């Protein structure tokens, strides 16, 4: 822990009552934020508020996966500074990947920030807050104490009907464009027994849709109940067959770690939902190699074919990067061709941006911005078309919908299909929490319209 003194005057401290957390980035960060709020609730009884102006502690859980992340953090911090000018006791913390990457540079640039922490050290937040209040200092804590984090966390919580469980952290794949291996550290898998206990707790607390999280979940290699190594497909069987497990998902996967057992798992485990996010990044073998992805386009096709052989209705999503250094028109055409052949239901597309310290950042970022924009638009257009077609194909089908909440329109309920599409339909709010059959009657870009199929 790096502690620096704070020269501000020592007035009596107000008690800590409220917490505001601003979350950026991936599902992993959403999960980490909920654990941070659990920890702070447990240690200080803090209540979470929706407006930073009402908070005694403001935490930012940041993401550095794409460019401009730091800029966004500093501009948001500017807003918090105004609050702190009026209430000097306010504690401001910056965590997550920008915290990890920038370290005490953050406090040099924004001296009103009290805590800087990384994705591996947030379990020590209560202790950091105690040090700050006792000694009136600033704290930076960004070391990577491996698995230690997993041992210090309170029970996971259910938000609505959804629960999240981290099964592994970090990444050893070192894709040349990606900062994650440097910010999240090496791949570490949690023991199977710990994961099972956490899932059971979530189920007991009412979770009906549980997601297993990690940077490369299908690279999971944890210690099984028998002391032997347990792979991801075996873990899915154990978790998916827990009593009361209704819906199981996972994210994110790597094409290199796909295997037959995993492709078959979707058909074999009734609770495993037919949805897979499998980032491919590019359809060109030249670019895949330069990205150090460890597989060719043909391997991706093979994995998808095998998945569809067992689970034809599986919904697929992916991540794409356009304008990677050296990407030619021909390379980009290969990406479009891959998309046409695979057909995706949804996707995230990014323009390449160099991340500090990554191998790709040493190459010239030589695809002109205009070309990156054009490629991004062309790719988005094709993906939107496929997504629209995928939604239209749902019309007329009957599907099991987990009813999550009221819809925005009066009298509407909102739920999710097994393949994660949002459905709106008329129904009594008492049905929230149940899974019921719904007939799909209309399709829009982002959601479906349905009618409850009432029991005769
Ligand atoms: N430039 C553009 N996109 C990136 N991603 C990760 N790093 C970069 C980068 N330097 C994208 C990848 C990854 C997703 C989470 O973010 O597509 O799968
Ligand atoms: Fe980043 Fe590649 Fe690891 Fe995904 S697999 S987190 S893109 S290095």
Ligand of minimum distance to the alpha carbon of 350: 1
User: Average of pLDDT values for 136-141?
Assistant: 79
CA–CA separation, 384 vs 274, rounded Å? 20
- Check if 358 has its Cβ closer than 6 Å to any atom of ligand 2: no
pLDDT score, position 427: 95
Query: What's the pLDDT score for residue 9?
Result: 47
C-alpha distances in angstroms, 13 versus 42, 56, 239, 290? 20, 11, 46, 54
**Interval 114-137 mean pLDDT:** 87
Residue 436 has pLDDT above 50, yes or no: yes
Q: Write the CB contacts of 148 (distance below 8 Å, at least 6 apart in sequence).
A: 123
Q: Which of 30, 173, 177 to mutate for ligand 1's pocket (most ligand atoms within 8 Å of CB)?
A: 177
Distance 199 CA to ligand 2 centre (A): 26
pLDDT at residue 172 is higher than 60:
yes
Cα–Cα distance for residue pair 304/351, rounded to 1 Å: 25
Take residue 242 and report the two structure tokens written for it.
Answer: 């827990």
The residue whose C-alpha atom lies closest to atom 7 belonging to ligand 1 is 178
Q: pTM for this one?
A: 0.82
For residues 301 and 307, give the distance between their C-alpha atoms in angstroms, rounded to a whole number: 10
For residue range 184-197, list pLDDT tens digits in order: 788 999 999 999 99
Residues 6+ apart with CB under 8 A from 214: 28, 166, 167, 168, 169, 220, 250, 252
pLDDT above 70: residue 4: no
Q: For ligand 2, what atom is nearest to the CA of residue 174?
A: 8
Distance CA 414, CA 408 (A): 8
Between CA 83 and CA 265, with CA 159 as vertex, the angle to 5 degrees is 135
pLDDT digits (tens, 9 = 90+) for 368-418: 999 999 999 999 999 999 999 999 999 999 999 999 999 989 999 999 999
Q: What is the pLDDT of residues 185-241, one digit of tens each?
A: 889 999 999 999 999 999 999 999 999 988 899 999 999 989 999 999 999 999 999
Residues facing 350 on adjacent strands: 321
Cα(180) to centroid(ligand 2), Å: 6
What's the confidence (pLDDT) of residue 153?
A: 55
CA 69 / ligand 1 centre spacing (Å) = 12
Percentage above 90 pLDDT, the chain? 70
**Do 431 and 403 touch, CB atoms closer than 8 A?**
yes
Per residue in 287-346, pLDDT (tens digit) is: 999 999 999 999 999 999 999 999 999 999 999 999 999 999 999 999 999 999 999 999
Q: Is 324 helix (H, G, I), strand (E, B) or coil?
A: coil
The residue whose C-alpha atom lies closest to atom 13 belonging to ligand 1 is 319
Residue with tokens 């695809």: 367
Ligand at shortest distance from the CA of 347: 1
Q: Please, are residues 317 and 330 in contact by the beta-carbon 8 Å criterion?
A: no
Residues for the chain: how many in total?
456
> What is the four-CA torsion angle of 405, 430, 412, 388, rounded to 10 degrees?
50
Q: Is 216 in the pocket of ligand 2 (CB under 6 A)?
A: yes
Higher pLDDT, 156 or 147: 156
Ligand 1 binding pocket (C-beta < 6 A) is 65-66, 177-178, 279, 281, 319, 321, 350, 352-353, 355
């Amino acid at each position: 822990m790096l502690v620096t003194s704070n020269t501000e005057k020592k007035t009596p401290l107000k008690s800590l009552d409220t917490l505001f957390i601003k979350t950026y980035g991936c599902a992993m960060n959403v999960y980490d934020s909920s654990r941070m709020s659990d920890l702070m609730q447990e240690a200080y009884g803090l209540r979470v508020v929706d407006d930073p102006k009402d908070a005694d502690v403001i935490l930012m859980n940041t993401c550095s996966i794409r460019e401009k992340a730091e800029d966004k953090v500093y501009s948001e911090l500017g807003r918090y500074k105004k609050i702190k000018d009026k209430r000097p006791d306010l504690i401001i913390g910056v965590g997550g990947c920008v915290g990890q990457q920038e370290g005490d540079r953050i406090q040099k640039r924004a001296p009103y920030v009290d805590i800087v922490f990384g994705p591996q050290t947030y379990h020590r937040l209560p202790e950091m807050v105690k040090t700050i209040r006792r000694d009136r200092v600033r704290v930076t804590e960004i070391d990577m104490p491996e698995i230690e984090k997993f041992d210090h966390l309170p029970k996971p919580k259910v938000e609505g009907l959804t629960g999240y469980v981290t099964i592994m952290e970090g990444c050893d794949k070192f894709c040349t464009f990606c900062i994650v291996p440097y910010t999240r550290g090496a791949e570490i898998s949690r023991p199977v027994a710990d994961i099972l206990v956490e899932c059971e707790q979530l189920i007991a607390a009412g979770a009906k849709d549980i997601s297993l999280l990690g940077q490369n979940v299908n690279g999971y290699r944890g210690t099984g109940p028998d002391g032997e190594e347990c792979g991801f497909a075996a873990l899915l069987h154990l978790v998916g067959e827990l009593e009361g497990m209704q819906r199981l998902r996972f994210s994110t996967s790597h094409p290199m770690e796909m295997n037959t057992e995993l492709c078959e798992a979707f058909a074999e485990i009734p609770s495993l939902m037919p949805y897979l996010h499998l980032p491919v990044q590019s359809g060109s073998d030249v670019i895949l190699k330069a990205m150090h992805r460890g597989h060719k386009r043909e391997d991706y096709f093979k994995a998808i074919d095998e998945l569809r052989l067992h689970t034809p209705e599986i919904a697929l999503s992916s991540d794409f990067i356009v304008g990677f250094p050296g990407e030619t028109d021909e390379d980009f055409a290969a990406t479009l061709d891959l998309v046409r052949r695979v057909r995706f239901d949804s996707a995230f597309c990014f323009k390449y941006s160099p991340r500090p310290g990554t191998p790709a950042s040493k190459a010239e970022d030589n695809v002109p911005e205009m070309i990156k924009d054009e490629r991004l638009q062309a790719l988005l257009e094709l993906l939107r078309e496929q997504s629209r077609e995928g939604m239209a194909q749902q019309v007329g089908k009957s599907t099991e919908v987990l009813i999550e909440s009221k819809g925005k329109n009066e009298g509407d309920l909102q739920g999710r299909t097994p393949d994660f599409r949002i459905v709106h339909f008329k129904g009594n709010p008492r049905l929230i929490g149940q899974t019921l059959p719904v007939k799909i009657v209309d399709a829009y870009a982002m959601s479906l319209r349905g009618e409850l199929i009432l029991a005769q």
